[in-house]
Amino acid sequence: MRTAGILTTAAVAALVVGAALFWGEIGAALLGAVFHERAGVDTTADLPDGLHVALCGTGAPLPDPGRAGACTVVIAGKHIFVVDSGEGAAKHIALMGIPNGRIEGVFLTHFHSDHIDGLGPMMLLRWTGAGATKPLPIYGGVGVERIVAGFDAAYATDNGYRTEHHGTKIAPPSGAGGKAVSFTPPVRGSLGAVEVYRGGGLRVTAFSVEHGPVEPAVGYRFDYKGRSAVISGDTAASAALVANAKGADLLVHEGLQPALVKRMTAALVARHQPGTAQITRDILTYHTSPEVAAQEAQAAGVKHLLFTHILPPVPSRIAYPAFLGSARKFYDGPITVGEDGMLFSLPAGSRTIDFARLPVN
């Protein structure tokens, strides 16, 4: 009986070893299939001519495992731009199959850390993804020069390593980092806008929003072949946003639900975290509730309201109604709570808004 037990144990051990080898082969095959399906894929290649908006980061400073930091991709024809570059944004762009190397510029709404802390990888992946010979243009209000210079200084050593290791064809020294493109926004409180980019049929204008004490703080409007998208940036209720979003096809608006944030504050107080609790109280003053954003969308006559920069973190779609509150009472168009990987397409010569999902994991 004892001999039989030993034999049984040996047989089990052999099966375990064999299974481990077997599963290793299966794992390698599966990964090979994933690499074949995703590596180097360009999901923008078959998009129709028009304006396309992809969400590469719908999160905010509070930790949210399902969302990268603030980031929106705007594609006009074959031209790719990015608005804001939060943590994890460049990675999500790559996972979505949008070629980092083809990004032609980044527009910053303001300089809060969660809107710029992904600039290093954004500049790096664009540079090495295309063997770029010129730095990535970074558009922003007065002070953007200091932001870009800081990231360039922080990444200078790494840039040198990349060139030395991969060679000047893959990582030309002249293409590393960013180039600040500064503009002066309209005076805060005014309804005007300034043109900050024009080319390839695309016009980008910037308008000041209400995010004090943060200044400059702007939103952007993108117009291309009769289609338009507006990105609010971080803002409280803003007459300038309403004025500049008039008739837009898509309004990508930040959203903070005060009722939920107040519950978070109460939990922080109960756990004796007064510092973080005060921060969650303070953020109520310079963000927009879904209800107010819905009223702005209605006043502007936009065709679709899309929320990003979700506060507080909403870990499940089950909680989306709680986040939206009574927003649907104030806006008679479609409302979407944004998720990373969402793609909205506005084909030229059409009034439709098409929807798709791109992978982010």
Q: Which among 94, 69, 66 has a CA at the least distance from the CA of 80?
A: 94
Calculate what percentage of the chain has a pLDDT beyond 70. Answer: 94
What 80-84 contacts at long range (C-beta under 8 Å, 24+ apart), as own/partner pairs, is 80/44, 80/104, 81/105, 81/106, 81/107, 81/204, 81/222, 82/56, 82/106, 82/107, 82/122, 83/107, 83/108, 83/109, 83/220, 83/231, 84/57, 84/108, 84/109, 84/115, 84/116, 84/233
- Residue 24 pLDDT grade (very low, low, confident, very high; cuts 50, 70, 90): confident
- What is the radius of gyration, based on Cα positions, of the chain? 23
55, pLDDT greater than 80 = yes
Whether 152 is a known active-site residue: answer no
Q: Is 358:54 a contact under the CB 8 Å cutoff?
A: yes
More confident residue, 50 or 24: 50
Output the pLDDT for position 268: 95
Output the pLDDT for position 1: 46
* Phi/psi of residue 114, nearest 5 degrees: -75, -5
Calculate what percentage of the chain has a pLDDT beyond 90. Answer: 87
Q: Quick: pLDDT tens for 291-342.
A: 999 999 999 999 999 999 999 999 899 999 999 999 999 999 999 999 999 9
Q: Quick: pLDDT tens for 162-206.
A: 999 999 999 999 999 999 999 999 999 999 999 999 999 999 999
3, pLDDT greater than 60 = no
Q: Mean pLDDT across the stretch 220-246? A: 98
Q: Is 52:346 a contact under the CB 8 Å cutoff?
A: yes
Domains of the chain by residue range = 1-34, 44-357
**CA 293 → CA 89, 198, 331, distances in Å?**
24, 28, 9
Please provide the average confidence, as pLDDT, over all residues in the chain. Answer: 94
In angstroms, the CA 72 to CA 57 distance is: 7
Q: Mean pLDDT across the stretch 208-213? A: 97
**How large is the greatest C-alpha to C-alpha distance in the chain, in angstroms?**
91
Q: In what order do the strands lie in the sheet with 250-256?
A: 194-199, 202-208, 218-224, 227-231, 250-256, 304-311, 335-337
Q: Quick: pLDDT tens for 63-114.
A: 898 999 999 999 999 999 999 999 999 999 999 999 999 999 999 999 999 9
Output the pLDDT for position 35: 78
Just give the CATH number of 44-357: 3.60.15.10
Output the pLDDT for position 37: 76
Q: Note the pTM of the prediction, 2 decimals.
A: 0.93
Output the pLDDT for position 156: 98
**Options 64, 114, 117, 152, the catalytic residue:** 114
Output the pLDDT for position 159: 97
Amino acid at residue number 330? F
- Residue 241 pLDDT grade (very low, low, confident, very high; cuts 50, 70, 90): very high
Q: Residue for token digits 């209800």? A: 291
Amino acid at residue number 267? A
Output the pLDDT for position 196: 98
